[in-house]
Amino acid sequence: MSALKRREIWITITAICGLLVIFEYFFAIQAAKDISVLIQGWAVTIAGFAVGIGLVNLGVIHIKRFTRRDANWYLSGWLVFVMLLVVVLGLTLTPSSPTYTWIFQNVYAVVGPTMWSLLGFYIASASFRALRARTLEAGLLLISAVLLMLVQAPVGALIPYVPSIAYWIRDVPNTAGMRAIILGTAVGAIGLGIRTLLGQERGYAT
């Protein structure tokens, strides 16, 4: 039994799955493709079960807060109640039912964007208090931000030269900078992938 607990086993599983998926991409061997399709399907199913891990953690944390009467314990109780209500409604009435749709459209789809919209106000505050052209770098950042922002709305087209300069910035220096980031992260990610498949990176299973 203790042999099954050895880390060499799951490191080997990672390597086999990863190398098989890479192998069938470069070589047209039907058997490899069939097995790759099979394990990719298994991975999708396992990913579905993995979703529950986060939900179980969330539920346990908030139930503990509720029972121990920690700070905001009543809100934790409300959270668990709402979660269970949505689960019961969704699994009994289906997500397409009018009740579920009402909750989705009038509560969930409202609070989410509203939370993100708070950042719009913070950006206004940051524009006045924090955006400073202290150095050449900061000045370039500011000019680039302002031009790319203005060109997203009709007002940008009304100011002479703004569209042509903004689109040039977007298509030339911005593309160059972003391309360097893409190349750099690709090299890093490929290296990390190889290390993971060779068993050098084991953080995911500790």
The answer to whether 83 and 63 have CB atoms below 8 angstroms apart is no
Of 158-197, binders to another protein (CB under 8 A) are 158, 163, 167-187, 189-190, 193-194, 196-197
Nearer to another protein, 29 or 149 (CB): 149
How far apart CA 203 and CA 101 sit, in angstroms, is 40
- Rule CB under 8 A: say whether 64 interacts with another protein: no
Member of 128, 160, 164, 200 binding another protein (CB under 8 A): 128
The residue count for binding another protein (CB under 8 A) is 143
- Rule CB under 8 A: say whether 72 interacts with another protein: yes
- Rule CB under 8 A: say whether 65 interacts with another protein: no
Nearest-approach distance from CB 202 to another protein, in angstroms? 10
Of 131-150, binders to another protein (CB under 8 A) are 131-133, 136-138, 140-150
Site string for another protein, 91-110 (x = CB under 8 A): x--xxx-x--xxxxxxxxxx
The answer to whether 199 and 14 have CB atoms below 8 angstroms apart is yes
Residue 110 burial (CB count, 10 A): 11
- Rule CB under 8 A: say whether 29 interacts with another protein: no
The answer to whether 138 and 132 have CB atoms below 8 angstroms apart is yes
Member of 51, 68, 69, 161 binding another protein (CB under 8 A): 51
Member of 52, 64, 70, 200 binding another protein (CB under 8 A): 52
39: nearest Cα among 5, 15, 55: 15
Of 2-21, binders to another protein (CB under 8 A) are 4-5, 7, 9-11, 13-21
